[in-house]
């Protein structure tokens, strides 16, 4: 039976903190924010009007992702950081790429938007699992 007790909440919170940093930078106008907004059909005024509830839900989802990644680390017990990063890439390919591409095809999401979202997601997963590997 799986043990659902997390022994290091500091690592979970730290990984989530860095995930938020990566997401903010990735979606900033200095990186791909303008292209992401254009492809997603989001205007700057729309971003400014997002409710605090939406941000809190996003943060909760990031924390949940960190908990699940930590469980994968505990279950698979990678011996090196490189092995942990490979695990995060397999998780990304098996769960995120498949979901985003299939959903994107049927929802008529642009290929550019899918790539922007997927690259951002893999960067976040690699960041999170790197922190969690040490904590």
The span from the CA of 121 to the CA of 92, in Å, is: 8
CB 59 within 8 A of CB 12: no
Query: Any residues with CB less than 8 A from the CB of 84 and at least 6 apart, and which?
Result: 73, 78, 129, 130, 132, 133
Higher pLDDT, 6 or 38: 38
Are 15 and 69 contacting, i.e. CB atoms less than 8 angstroms apart?
yes
Between CA 84 and CA 82 the distance in angstroms is 5
Spatial separation of the C-alpha atoms in residues 126 and 65, rounded to whole Å:
12
Model confidence band, residue 1 (pLDDT cutoffs 50, 70, 90): very low
DSSP 30: T
Q: What is the pLDDT of residues 16-35, one digit of tens each?
A: 999 999 999 999 999 999 99
pLDDT-above-70 percentage for the chain:
96
């Amino acid at each position: 039976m799986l043990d659902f007790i997390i022994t290091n909440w500091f690592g979970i919170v730290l990984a989530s903190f860095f995930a938020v940093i990566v997401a903010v930078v990735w979606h900033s106008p200095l990186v791909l924010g303008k292209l992401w907004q254009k492809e997603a059909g989001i205007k700057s005024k729309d971003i400014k009007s997002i409710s605090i509830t939406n941000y809190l839900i996003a943060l909760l989802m990031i924390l949940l992702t960190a908990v699940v990644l930590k469980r994968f680390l505990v279950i698979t017990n990678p011996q090196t950081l490189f092995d942990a990063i490979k695990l995060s890439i397999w998780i990304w390919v098996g769960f995120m790429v498949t979901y985003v591409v299939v959903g994107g095809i049927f929802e008529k999401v642009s290929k550019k938007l899918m790539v922007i979202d997927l690259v951002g997601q893999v960067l976040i997963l690699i960041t999170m699992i790197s922190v969690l590997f040490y904590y």
